[in-house]
Amino acid sequence: MTGPPKTSGPSEAEDVAEPLLAMHDIVKHFPGVKALDGIDLDVLPGEVHCLLGQNGAGKSTLIKVLAGAHQPDGGRILWRGEEVRFPRPMAALNRGIATIYQELDLVDGLSVAENVYLGHERARAGFTARGEINAATTELLRRLGHPEMSATQEVGALSAAGKQIVSMARALSHDAQLIVMDEPSAVLDQEEVNRLFTVIADLAAQGIAIIYISHRLEEIRRIGDRITVLKDGRTAASGLPAADTPTSEIIRLMTGRSIEYVFPDRATADDVSAEPVLEVEGLARKGEFSDVAFSVRPGEIVGLAGLVGSGRSEILETVYGARKPTAGTVRVAGKPLRPGRVGAAMAAGVGFCPEERKSQALILGDAVYRNITLASLARFHRAGFMDNAKERREAAEHTESLDVRPAGVNRPVGNLSGGNQQKVVLARWLLRGCRVLLLDEPSRGVDVGARAEIYALIRGLANQGIGVVLVSSEIEEVIGLADRVLVVSDGRIVAESAAEDIDEHRVLDLVMEGAVA
Amino acid sequence: MSAQTQAEQRPGDAAAAPPPGPAQRIGGLLASPAGRNVGLVIALLLLCLIGVATAGDRFASFDNMMTILRLASVIGVISVGMTFVITGGGIDLSVGAVMALASVWATTLSTQQMAADFHWIVMVTTALMVGAGAGLINGVLTAYGRMAPFIATLAMMAAARGLAELISDRQTQVVTETGLVDFFGAEVAGIPVLVIIFALTAAGGWVLLNRTTFGRRTLAVGGNPEAARLAGIDVRRHTTILYLLLGLACGLAAVMLLARTTAGTSTHGQLAELDAIAAVVIGGTLLSGGRGTVVGTVFGVLIFTTLTNVFTLNNLDSSSQNVAKGAIIVAAVLLQQRVSSGSGRT
């Protein structure tokens, strides 16, 4: 299995060097979802390998498999030509594969050096060898081109960029030969990005390979050597040259789908004259989004497309009153809502299905019917006393009409699958009755079959005259389901279009342009 | 409820757990509300058996039963209130100190004879208002001041105890109003009034938690505060009310204690917070909130007071009682963990 040394490879382009890492046909299932469906990835020593793909394409799952955080259900991982398994994250680290996640896993209260050597502390007779790790960390920081950083500084006081350097120093302290970076530039400003790229280039020159994940094509062109594109859990293309693969080609590879979703037909001939049921004007929240304006007519589905972190979820939560805006107004059926008050929005007939179903919407240990009636308790009591029978009866009517499976409103909602949990959240608002329904990622964690049902359900609600606002990371979903599409980028609405007049490429173009600017 | 859901589970359901083994089935049985209480009843019966075996008729007499219940009533009223706070996702360490403060405040009024026509009902209202006031402060600090309840109520514990010492000058203040002692020390059909108050508090607490919108909101706030907020529940106001209710319970407990001991002192209710929390947790209320049982709490209180009674009848000192108490707490929590993991709930 030992290949020829890097310099004496044959002339074939793919065989120039023995890959440092080769992942073959990696498969990973989650309950109800096939997250990875046969992925191949080759990384050469000393290259910056870019991993591209839409949200849900499998990038995060893939790097977690590589880091030993997930166990693959199939496929092989070859490391320096030798087949390996990583049953624990430490196993991958010990082989020299370090992963820097988006949410950095640093301990704020410890010093830089203590963080770098966390988990492999150096000690003599049980006493920490502070001087030794401080000196070693200072050397690593110098190697990373940041000699100005102090090894004894507390990590909590560092900027996001500083923390990233600490994470990289930690990777190097494990003698990493491959560093995986998940959207490292997302939290950095332009100057910090430039410095990060200098560091990455230095590391690559030292022979360390980097897997770099980013949505920003411009960055990939600057520092990437080769590109692998993922799509729906499969490798769509690999080994593309980063410098001169046309953007249109990359976007085509990212968007061309192997799974076709069934979207319900749009309602024909809306009465465009109808008064809007929801009007948002000049809405802003400092540091999150600004000058957001849109309106929704009864029976219309308006989709917000944008990347994670673009501000779309924050906009939705602010409209609902769960966050207080710094400026702007929200009107429902012509009447302004008191800002920052969930109660006011609900009283005006606004319903909200939040992004994180489990942490924001459901009480997992509680029965299905109780989760459904949570927003309408006032309907089920007489003088404060709950009428449980009526609750169960009315909740059951909705679970039956939505076909929640398994049936039975008494089981804990935590035992249901993602799609059925989403139906329970929708049932909550159907039971209450609303004019405006705000849906944040309604199909997240929902398997393909249940998706079609959820889509049909949402369209059905619109047909009953409810104004729907839909947020989704999946551009195809927004375009397929919505009547009108707003593109959100960096906290602003950068484009608006009828869904028929826009396609996935155009949206992705707008989203990525906005992110680069 | 749990047994029913298991029966309904179909094979092939993606979310279904693997078929339950015998251990899980027992776990499931114990996890049902009735099943949990069965465990508590067995524990209490065991204690009673030990009591009968070691102390005979001195234990198994009506008078002794009433002694146990009278002993249980003060901490019982607090524990019922504590059940609500813990179910709602909080904790209150200040209950003992607040009770002492209320007792001292009320007796100070009475010794000072503020008005000629002073009536003992003024003492009662004073104690209740002091308790409610302290509870309100706890609630506001926790809910609106966003302080960790552990810290906010720890501060209240220190401050209330200190204030009680200041007011009383560390003296024991005897209740001179015989009216109060006569009323609360009386018996109705052989049952002490204190015990009746405990029973009424427990019954009211059960109804409030299980049959009203207030109770439902409490469970929601403790189970998932963010989901409760997004479903339109005013989580902060609700949390404040929970602490206020517990403060009120402390005031009531102070009055009961005044009647039982005929004195108000700043040393009343020391470690009452631990007894109350222990009783609540043993009863099956989740310390993390979202699930609560008033019936369980009552059993928790009875188990502890019966234990004390049995030990006292056998002339064992409080040190060995404390060892037994500690063992019971650990055993109960270990059991609870097994039960909750066995039923697949979190």
Compute CA A352 distance to the chain's CA centroid, rounded to the nearest angstrom. 20
Beta-strand (E) ranges in A133-233?
Answer: 178-182, 209-213, 226-231
d(CA B136, CA B160): 13
Report yes or no: B213 at the A interface, CB cutoff 8 Å.
yes
Domain end, chosen from A113, A129, A158, is at A158
Which of the four pLDDT bands, split at 50, 70 and 90, describes residue B5?
very low
Looking at the partner chain, which of A366, A384, A428 has a beta carbon nearest the beta carbon of B213? Answer: A384
- Verify whether the Cβ–Cβ distance B16 to A415 is below 8 Å: yes
Q: Which residue of B has its CA nearest to A353?
A: B230
Domain count, chain B: 1
Task: Read off the amino acid at residue A324.
Answer: K
* Same domain (yes/no): A144, A280: no
- Verify whether the Cβ–Cβ distance A384 to B212 is below 8 Å: yes
Q: Is the ipTM of this complex over 0.90?
A: no
Q: What CATH code is carried by the domain that includes residue B267?
A: 1.10.3470
d(CA B259, CA B264): 9
Q: Which residue of A has its CA nearest to B223?
A: A363
Domain enclosing residue A116, as ranges: 103-158
Residues of B in contact with A342 (CB under 8 A): 229-230, 232
Which of the four pLDDT bands, split at 50, 70 and 90, describes residue A445?
confident
Q: A154: which strand partners?
A: A111
pLDDT of residue B195: 95
Q: Does pLDDT of B12 surpass 70?
A: no
Each residue's pLDDT tens digit, B41-75 = 888 898 899 999 998 888 989 999 999 999 999 99
Looking at the partner chain, which of B13, B207, B346 has a beta carbon nearest the beta carbon of A364? Answer: B346
pLDDT of residue A264: 81
Most B-contacting residue of A350, A411, A447 (CB-CB within 10 A), to test interface: A411
A15 compared with B248, residue with greater pLDDT: B248
- Verify whether the Cβ–Cβ distance A406 to B13 is below 8 Å: yes
Q: What CATH code is carried by the domain that includes residue A324?
A: 3.40.50.300
Residues of B in contact with A364 (CB under 8 A): 223-224, 346
Each residue's pLDDT tens digit, A147-170 = 889 999 998 888 888 888 898 898
Nearest CA distance, B220 vs chain A (angstrom): 7
- Verify whether the Cβ–Cβ distance B227 to A360 is below 8 Å: yes
Q: Does pLDDT of A318 surpass 90?
A: yes
Nearest CA distance, A255 vs chain B (angstrom): 29
The mean per-residue pLDDT over the stretch B111-139 comes to 85
d(CA B50, CA A42): 71
Domain count, chain A: 2
Q: Which residue of A has its CA nearest to B9?
A: A406
Which residues 183-212 of B have a C-beta within 8 angstroms of A? Answer: 207, 211-212
From B288, B228, B239, B346, select the one nearest A361 (Cα to Cα): B228
The mean per-residue pLDDT over the stretch A434-454 comes to 84
- Verify whether the Cβ–Cβ distance A408 to B224 is below 8 Å: no
- Verify whether the Cβ–Cβ distance A365 to B345 is below 8 Å: yes
pLDDT of residue B336: 66
Which of the four pLDDT bands, split at 50, 70 and 90, describes residue B13?
very low
Most A-contacting residue of B207, B216, B336, B341 (CB-CB within 10 A), to test interface: B216
Q: Does pLDDT of A138 surpass 80?
A: yes
Q: Give A498: exposed, middle or buried? Use CB within 10 Å, 0-12, 13-18, 19+.
A: exposed
Domain enclosing residue B76, as ranges: 37-338
- Verify whether the Cβ–Cβ distance A342 to B232 is below 8 Å: yes
User: In the A/B pair of chains, how many CB contacts fall below 8 A?
Assistant: 105
d(CA A362, CA B231): 10
Report yes or no: A127 at the B interface, CB cutoff 8 Å.
no
Q: Which residue of A has its CA nearest to B8?
A: A408
CA distances from B268 to B82, B100, B106, B257, B328 (A): 18, 5, 13, 8, 24
* Same domain (yes/no): A280, A149: no
Residues of B in contact with A428 (CB under 8 A): 231
Nearest CA distance, A27 vs chain B (angstrom): 19
In this structure, is residue A459 part of a structural domain?
Answer: no
In this structure, is residue B343 part of a structural domain?
Answer: no
d(CA A82, CA A451): 41
In this structure, is residue B315 part of a structural domain?
Answer: yes
In this structure, is residue B117 part of a structural domain?
Answer: yes
pLDDT of residue A204: 92
Report yes or no: A428 at the B interface, CB cutoff 8 Å.
yes
Nearest CA distance, A442 vs chain B (angstrom): 16
Q: A36: which strand partners?
A: A28
pLDDT of residue A359: 87
pLDDT of residue A466: 93
Which residues 303-332 of A have a C-beta within 8 angstroms of B? Answer: 320, 322
pLDDT of residue A2: 42
Q: Does pLDDT of A10 surpass 80?
A: no
The mean per-residue pLDDT over the stretch A436-446 comes to 88
Nearest CA distance, A193 vs chain B (angstrom): 35
Q: Does pLDDT of B202 surpass 90?
A: yes
Looking at the partner chain, which of B4, B5, B231 has a beta carbon nearest the beta carbon of A375? Answer: B231
pLDDT of residue B36: 66
* Same domain (yes/no): A341, A486: yes
Each residue's pLDDT tens digit, A186-232 = 777 777 888 889 989 999 999 999 999 987 777 888 899 999 998 88
